[in-house]
Each structure stands twice: as structure tokens, then as C-alpha cells.
Structure 1
């Protein structure tokens, strides 16, 4: 098998090369994002490996199909960047459904602590020999309420972490987890009661801009918003207006709705032309990290292992347990697999 590997970073290469010792596949690493113009580079390969910020739209899928590609192996859990309707019947799409939920939940907790206690600002001050603490006041997490939107594995681990701080929990999920010992509530009640709101849900039509002008108006003044899921869960312009008007205490974002061009890249010697992102970073009560919540040794090991296993399963012609497709999502069953246990 020859695999065209897009948007490859040094850490991708190290972990995939190590895991590939078991398989002996020929991996060709491109530092380009996958998109309509770069899809032609996949000609002569058997599969492509793509990441969350690659553009897998109709033109890209058609170009890959014309190049002979029948398998797109996502090395991520999220897939809102894929046009599944176009892909159905042409390219099988597999993903890594879970790698390290602890990594993401722990990063969300790190953002919460940093934003609240302003340790990032304190670090910069003391490096300049400024040892004042004016403006660095936070609040006790103990006794406060954490509102958790989405109670999958990551959300539930984050809940456990918050309980370790002595926080109260209120959660929202349209499909509540069974046998839990925390309280579920409506979104409106969660917004009203929470001192910290953390998003742990996928991006769907129902969750797009789940944080918007209306929902922000229902939140506690001074509350914190955390997002380690998908950027478009938050209406960034509404968030900026709320920050300007001091209706919320701050926001910590590991994702951004227009992150594709910037995140994972070095723009330190360039001017960032995205005025919205520049404005966000300028707020003293906003903390932005560049989609690094997943970035642990354990997660990278799991990503490489599952992605290459998905490719092996495709190569062998057997079932694809990690396949996702348009027909599955349309039926809402997540299982339209035929006799071959593939989606088509």
C-alpha cells in the first residue's frame, strides 16, 4: 500500500513511521493541506491520510476519485470538514473515533485554571521582573458550578476533574448518558446557573453557534466559556461583543471557527490578516491555544495505531468498523453496512 499523507508535521512523521514498522507501507508525507489543488498529488497512491483542517469537499473528493483513491483515512475524530454526500459510493471514509479523552479533558481543565487564575499573564510579568499581582485576581473553583455541554467520554472525564476541585455539576446532552450521578438540565438552565461553561459536543446543525448572542445573554455575569471541541460551536462575533461589554468574565479557546489557515502553522514573522482572530487574541481575558488539546504522547500513539489499522482493514477487503458515511448519518443509525460490513 502506498499512502499519501497530507498536512504532515514532524510529530506525525515520527509516530506514524514508528507504528508503520509493523506494516511496511510506503508513506509519502506532504506538508500541504489536502484540497482541490493538492488532491492531484495522490495519483498513483492507494489511500490518503488527512487531518481535521484539510478541505475534503466535493471538488477534492472528485479529484481524489479520478486519481484512483477509494479510501480517505482521517487521523482524527472530527469529520465536519468532509462532504459525505459526495464521498458516498466513491471513497470510504474512516476515522479515529477516540484516542485519548483524558488529553482533551485535562487540557480543558488547564485552560479553566489558567484563565481563572491568569497564570499566563503572571508568567509574562515575572519574566520582565514585574512582581505585582494587580489584575490577576481569580475566584475559588470550589463550590462553583461547571456547566458541561456534551457528556461523552471527554465530557464525563472533565466532570470528574471538576468534582476534584469541589465544583457542582450541571450537564446538557440531547442523549443523556445512563447510570450517571450528575444532574442534567436544559441548556437555558445550564447557561443561567453555570460559573464555567465547557463545550464537549460535536459540530452538527443543531450545535452550530450553540453559544450565540441569545445564549450569552442568559449566562451569569463574569462566567467563563471553554471550548476544546469545534470552533463553530461559538459565534465568534457575538463572543467578542460580550467581551467588549464585559458580560462574561473570559473565554479559553483551543479551536476557532476559521482556524484552517492558521492553526498548526507558524505565522510569527507574518501579519495575521484575520481581524477577528487578532481581536480575540488582543483581549486580556481571552486565552487561545492552537488546537492542541489532543496533543499528548498517548494520543499520538493511538492515532497512528488506529489510522494504520483502518488502512489495513481496507486493504484486506474486510469490515471497516471505523467507517462513517452519508447514508449512515441520513438514517441516524450509524450502521448501513452491507454483507461485507462496509457502507457500500
Structure 2
């Protein structure tokens, strides 16, 4: 089989693709692919591997040799699934690779926020400890994670990893039911109740028609004024304007954001302006430990191998 990888630059340069190449006769790689180049780069290939390059109905319909689309991520919202199904093209994703990486990122961010690590380090760099009249220089308050309540929206591989770590810190964990659910499943809590009771809310749901703009002005008004909102899922899950308003007006305490609606962001991105001080934004890297990236590449290789053996593995369709 012949495969083309459209956006290898979404992976670290230290990550080898040899596991994928072993499953193929040909593997052609492009660092990035612009929309106008997708069709010509995919023509003649049986397999297309994409992380974030969008594959529309127009593109899929123009590729008569295409048999398999491997999405190098868990979410498949960049592929027209209905079109692929209509064209008889299989689609696979890569689930279960990023749990340790994302959970570690979230805990690192929370520990930094509640422990005030950068502030206390700066106090020493600025000489404040050296000038102290007592054995310590306390500075800004330090809070424990122990006893705090973590609300999880979405309860898959990543959320379960985070839950395990949170419980090791003696935190209480609430698992949210779907926002408009009529029935609350055992072990879960109503969405609005989760909002009001949680000290930290972490989003782990996929982006779909039910989760687009899931967190709104109303959501923020229900949260504690000290609440911390964490988004490592998709930017569209949060109403960006509502989040900015909530942060500026101190309706919530802090936001930890690893994903935005537009990636890479434009210069006028609302959440990157200087008028917000209570936010930490990173460049969609929560998933990207070296180990997680290598697991993801191995999953893609396994998906291609399974397809060639007529086996179903990580198949979306």
C-alpha cells in the first residue's frame, strides 16, 4: 500500500515514523499541506494520514484510489465522515495514547497555580527572602489540592487518568452527566450541579453538535467565583467571549487553556490580550509528551496493519 502523511510537522522532529513505514510499500511525508494542495498530494495513494489537515467531501470524492484515512488524533472532526462512508473509505482514529501526558499537564498547571511556584521563585530572585526578618518569606497564599472538588466533563481515557491522579491528591471527583440529559446515570451528577459544586472543571468531551459552545455565560454564572476551568479538548467547547468576560469580571478565578477556536491563533485572539491576567494559555501541547507521540505513531501503524488484514481496529467507519 502507498500512503501520504500530510502534516508531519504536527509531531516533534525527534519522533520517528518507522513503525508506519514498515506497514507500507511507500510512505511520502509533507511537513505541512495547504488546503489547495491536498488533492494533488493525495492522488494515487491508498492511505492518507492527517492530523489536522481537513478532508472535505470535495477532496475525498476526488481521490478514486483512496481506501483508508488515518486520523493522527482521537477527534475526527477534520474529516467528512459521511462522505468517506459514501465513498467506501475506511476511517480510523488514535484513541488511548494521551492519557498520561494530558493528565500530567493538567496537574502541573494546577500545582503551579495553587502552589504559586513562579511567584515564590521570583521572591527569591528579587532578594525578598534574603531581606526577611524571619526564616521564611510567605508571599502569596498557597492552597492545597487536597479537599478540592474536580468536575470532569467527558469520562474517557484521559479523564480517567486525571481522576486517578486527583484521588491520589485526596481530591473529590465529580463526573458530569450530559448537559441536557433527562436521566442521571449511576455514578454521575447533573451538569449544572457539577458546575456549582466544583472547584476545578476539566473538559474532556469530543467536539460535536452537542458540545459546541457547551460552556456559556450561564455556565460561568453557576460556577464558584474561585473556580478554575481547564480546557485540553477543543476550543469550540467554550464560548470564548463568555470566558473572557467571566475572567475579567472575576466570575471565575482562573482558566487553563491549551486549545483555541483558531489554531494557530490570530493576533486579535480574545484570550491572548493583555487585559486578562488570570489565564494560562499554551499552544495545544498537553497531548505531546515524547512518549505519547510515539504511542500515537504506533497506533497509526497498527491501524494500517489491521486494515490490510481485514481486521477492525480503531475504526470510526
Q: Please tell me the TM-score bracket, short chain as reference.
A: 0.7 to 0.9
CA distance in 2, matches of 1:34, 1:177: 44
CA distance in 1, matches of 2:240, 2:139: 25
The correspondence for 2:277, drawn from 284, 292, 298, is: 284
The correspondence for 1:207, drawn from 194, 211, 214, is: 211
- Measured at CA, do residues 127 and 47 of structure 1 come closer, stay the same or move farther in structure 2, by a change above 3 Å? farther
* 8 Å Cα contact 1:104/1:293 also seen in 2: yes
CA distance in 2, matches of 1:30, 1:166: 46
> How far off its partner does 1:56 sit?
2.0
* 8 Å Cα contact 1:115/1:252 also seen in 2: no
For structure 2, list consecutive stretches of 5 or more residues without a partner in the other structure: 130-136
* 8 Å Cα contact 1:141/1:165 also seen in 2: yes
* 8 Å Cα contact 1:152/1:177 also seen in 2: no
Alignment of 1:81-230 (within 5 A): 81-90=78-87, 91-120=89-118, 125=122, 129=126, 136-174=140-178, 184-230=188-234
More displaced 10-residue stretch of structure 1: 34-43 or 69-78: 34-43
The correspondence for 2:67, drawn from 65, 70, 80, is: 70
> How far off its partner does 1:237 sit?
0.8
The correspondence for 1:309, drawn from 294, 302, 307, is: 302
> How far off its partner does 1:171 sit?
1.6
CA distance in 2, matches of 1:313, 1:171: 34
For structure 1, list consecutive stretches of 5 or more residues without a partner in the other structure: 263-271, 326-344
* 8 Å Cα contact 1:151/1:173 also seen in 2: no
CA distance in 2, matches of 1:158, 1:229: 13
> How far off its partner does 1:36 sit?
4.7
Number of equivalent positions: 306
- Measured at CA, do residues 134 and 213 of structure 1 come closer, stay the same or move farther in structure 2, by a change above 3 Å? farther
* Superposed CA RMSD: 2.9
CA distance in 1, matches of 2:27, 2:245: 46
- Measured at CA, do residues 56 and 34 of structure 1 come closer, stay the same or move farther in structure 2, by a change above 3 Å? farther
1:27-72 superposed Cα distances (whole Å, 9 cap, x missing partner): 2111223635423211232211100x22122233233x25x32211
Which TM-score applies when normalising by structure 1? Answer: 0.79
| 2:54 maps to 1:61 | no
More displaced 10-residue stretch of structure 1: 245-254 or 137-146: 137-146
The correspondence for 2:268, drawn from 245, 269, 274, is: 274
1:113 aligned counterpart, secondary structure: helix
* 8 Å Cα contact 1:228/1:253 also seen in 2: yes
2:201 aligned counterpart, secondary structure: strand
